[in-house]
């Protein structure tokens, strides 16, 4: 029974697994070809492939909605759920940036600045307005996600 459940899960998330495997393979090949391509860059490439696989899986899972279904704009993600998702990304990307830059402060400042740089670019590409409160929300969530492991260790030590 456990093997059947494992097979079912593997079939359902094959896009994520494939993208991660391809990213890891490319990272290993680049590390083998170029000695300067270190472990940090390999982890960053694998995380980028994992993120791309998750987006690919979500896009494929959403599919075409029936004509009677409400539009996505009518069903926004709740703020707490969005905050948690962005915080998880802040924890992942912030730890990689902290490792690559050898400075947690610079990584934190980079995470805080990213929404203000990428938000207007995304707004220009999608031709939708970008509001300052959304950018501040994303910057705060990224910062909280990056600082959460440190705060937890300080709390329990």
Within 8 A by CB and 6+ apart from 127, the residues are: none
Higher pLDDT, 78 or 75: 78
What is the model's pLDDT at position 3?
A: 67
Q: Whole-angstrom Cα distance, residue 65 to residue 73?
A: 13
Name the token pair of 151: 């705060």
Burial of 30 (0-12, 13-18, 19+ CB in 10 A): middle
Higher pLDDT, 109 or 69: 109
Q: What are the pLDDT digits (tens) for 31-70?
A: 888 888 888 888 888 888 888 887 777 777 766 555 555 5
pTM: 0.56
Unique residue bearing structure tokens 């948690």: 84
Residue 50 and residue 23 in contact, taking contact as beta carbons nearer than 8 Å = yes
Flag the least confident range among 69-83, 101-115, 143-157.
69-83
């Amino acid at each position: 029974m456990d093997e059947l459940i494992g097979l079912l899960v593997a079939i359902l998330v094959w896009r994520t697994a494939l993208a991660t495997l391809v990213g890891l393979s490319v990272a290993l090949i680049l590390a083998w070809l170029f000695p300067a391509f270190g472990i940090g860059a390999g982890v960053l490439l694998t995380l980028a492939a994992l993120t791309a696989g998750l987006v690919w899986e979500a896009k494929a899972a959403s599919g075409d909605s029936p004509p009677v279904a409400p539009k996505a704009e009518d069903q926004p993600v709740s703020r707490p759920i969005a905050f948690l998702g962005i915080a998880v990304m802040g924890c992942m990307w912030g730890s990689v940036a902290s490792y690559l830059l050898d400075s947690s402060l610079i990584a934190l400042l980079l995470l805080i600045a990213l929404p203000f740089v990428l938000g207007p670019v995304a707004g220009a590409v999608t031709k939708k307005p970008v509001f300052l409160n959304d950018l501040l929300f994303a910057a705060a969530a990224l910062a909280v996600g990056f600082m959460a492991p440190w705060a937890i260790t300080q709390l329990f030590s």
